[in-house]
Amino acid sequence: MTSAIPPTTAVVLPGTGSDEVFVRAVFSGPLRALGIRLLAPPPPPGDRLADGYLEELDRLADAHGPLLVGGISFGAHLAAEWAARDSGRCTGLLAALPAWNGPAGQAPASLAARLSADLVAENGVDGALAKSADGVPEWLSAELGRAWRRHGDGLASSLRTAASRAAPELDDLKGLDVPVGIGACVDDPIHPMAVARAWAEALPRAEVGESTLTALGADREALGRATVLAWLRACR
């Protein structure tokens, strides 16, 4: 007999080129303060990134029952896609830094992922990191250095998979009637505030929590707190 994941457990996915280490740094503390345990699965390799994560959410829901799901950037897209597809198995959504809705098109985050994939393919992971370091905040450079090396040979394929995958359409989000907390950084051009607001307007029960990249650089939990507090407001 399978035991059920209690409603005090969240499953949160990382963004493009990121990893579960960053997810834990962002969300473990804010969720733990509410008595919520965090599960952060590591990224599936290469072009299995999206399908592998969706299958993992299916597996966890089959094994444990309805889930509180979430993600950062591309991870938020996948969590929302999964939740909208089968809302009966989702009890809520934590969407930090959504980057676009519908087809990726010329969305800044998609363009950045494609450029990064080209750099990695042409220069290798270490060479791409060296070329990407100029003008990048030290904390972000350190995060990329760890996460990109952990992705290894599958990194370029993983980046391209994320860059080309459509996010949920706004019409799809309209049918997701669960509490949703959306976290956004007001000074982040890669994950525009306009996207966060569009998601919030489409979702029946959503709130937006705001932070900044400066705050995130000093304290990773700043983004997690903004997202979780928005979710708590949406639960009312």
Tell me the whole-structure pTM to 2 decimals. 0.95
Torsion sign, CA atoms 141, 147, 150, 156: negative
Residues 179 and 11: their CA atoms lie apart, in Å, by 15
Tokens of 1: 């007999």
In this predicted model, what pLDDT tens digit does every residue of 28-77 receive, in sequence order?
Answer: 999 999 999 999 999 999 999 999 999 999 999 988 888 999 999 999 99
Q: What is the pLDDT of residue 1?
A: 28
Q: Does the pLDDT at position 81 exceed 90?
A: yes
From the list 33, 176, 201, the residue with the least C-alpha distance to 10 is: 33
Q: What is the pLDDT of residue 7?
A: 53
